[in-house]
Structure 1
């Protein structure tokens, strides 16, 4: 957020209004014109800005787009979609490095039963919980922290999911964030169902502390979640890939909590399930057994299979003699 004596500069507000404006449906046209009027009152001035401030929401969207383009050119404001992550619009036009004025913290919380249960990573920016304001629910810790902590900020920008629909499914509703380290700052820029209409920037040292605190706090974990984290962390995924397999999910069998299930996917054709009894194992012991077993050839596993494509009625080619069709 660019600031001028503690307030957002009018150039940035105008930029944000255009970014929110839908040129196909006209959504946001009233806001755009009101923001242009406010920009004039705040001291910005150009011939096209005056025309934009005097425009009507009933004007042709194409004509309004032309006015916006001309206004931005006259005022030196970059168009939405042209800013790099971590940039903001500067007073007088152009861009500036976004200052680190925001604070962040994370928390792992339960997911309500009506949303499928489990856990979610909540994200608080300036003490406002962002995932609920965005798509609705935080992401499962496995999706963010395991096997690699995707919240870690690097000099190369990367984009991760940060919130999912209240139904529990990412993609039904989605909030993503692009994260990049910029020397002593870390920038977040929102995508899709954005919780606030600006990117946020944190002091890198404090950001790193909060990310590390989240990644090393296991107080919330149940035994099966601990086992799952260790499995996803230590599993030899390259060995699985030689057979075309990738981990899909790991959890206790919902029908029998004394059994831990590893679900694998074979291309887009089959799901493979390998079950392991807890039998007085600690989570670490169970995880070790799982990882050791899955390094062996799939034909040696005691596994079940389910065809993703209904036309497939036979076991996958990697199946062993003891494999049988899954009863889901």
Structure 2
């Protein structure tokens, strides 16, 4: 989800990408209540690598966000509560972002499906994010946005070395590739 404050794109200012709308809006709209809300995450797709968090508070007709985690600006921001409530309700009612992708279970040794959704870098692509727990990598496969789930499943049943994939290490500063990487795999940092 892209969040702008006074035309400044704050969800990508520090960490690389906004949260998926599902994470902010389901089962409850987290932006509507007081408390800490993660609004930005690392470009690898995980809020655990780095995150931008807003501490949402409401006083005397004003909603205020104070930053914790990786702050996108040096100061918090304030909103007129009535206007804020209208926008938050609009977000909660807009379900245009929903795209159900049932690719089933991923049965590949050492990999777990993290999520599948629209690629924030290219909305014409479906991004399938896998987690290699033991090696501490995220692995990404991209398909056309209207890909048939059966085609996605067929690709996932192929040996990982045959995939055209990108990867991102979850260990800061580590170089190297996942052991299952094929010759067409590229570091996510090199993806363009």
Task: State yes or no: 1:205 paired with 2:85.
Answer: no
Q: Which of 131, 145, 159 in structure 1 is aligned with 2:25?
A: 145
Determine if contact 2:21/2:97 at 8 Å carries over to the other structure. Answer: no
Determine if contact 2:56/2:64 at 8 Å carries over to the other structure. Answer: yes
Q: Which of 169, 185, 192 in structure 1 is aligned with 2:46?
A: 169
Q: Partners in 1 of 2:14 and 2:93 — Cα distance?
A: 26
Mapping 1:1-328, distance limit 5 Å? 121-153=1-33, 157-222=34-99, 224=100, 251-253=101-103, 259=104
Task: Please list the CA deviations of residues 272-312 of structure 1 after superposition, one character each: whole Å capped at 9, or x if unmatched.
Answer: xxxxxxxxxxxxxxxxxxxxxxxxxxxxxxxxxxxx99xxx
1:219: how far off? 2.2
Q: Partners in 1 of 2:14 and 2:85 — Cα distance?
A: 23
1:181: how far off? 1.1
Aligned residues: 110
| CA RMSD between the two structures | 2.2
Determine if contact 2:57/2:63 at 8 Å carries over to the other structure. Answer: yes
1:134: how far off? 2.4
1:135: how far off? 1.4
TM-score of the aligned structures, taking structure 2 as reference length: 0.52
Runs of 4+ aligned structure 1 residues displaced above 4 Å come to: none
Give the secondary structure class of the aligned counterpart of 2:64: strand
The structure carrying a bigger helix percent of its residues is: 1
Determine if contact 2:64/2:76 at 8 Å carries over to the other structure. Answer: yes
Task: Please list the CA deviations of residues 118-159 of structure 1 after superposition, one character each: whole Å capped at 9, or x if unmatched.
Answer: xxx111100111011021110111211100110003xxx410
Q: Partners in 1 of 2:47 and 2:36 — Cα distance?
A: 14
What runs of 5+ residues in structure 1 fail to find an aligned partner? 1-120, 225-250, 254-258, 262-270, 272-307, 310-326
Using CA pairs under 8 Å that are at least 6 residues apart, name the structure with larger relative contact order, 1 or 2: 2
Determine if contact 2:42/2:50 at 8 Å carries over to the other structure. Answer: yes
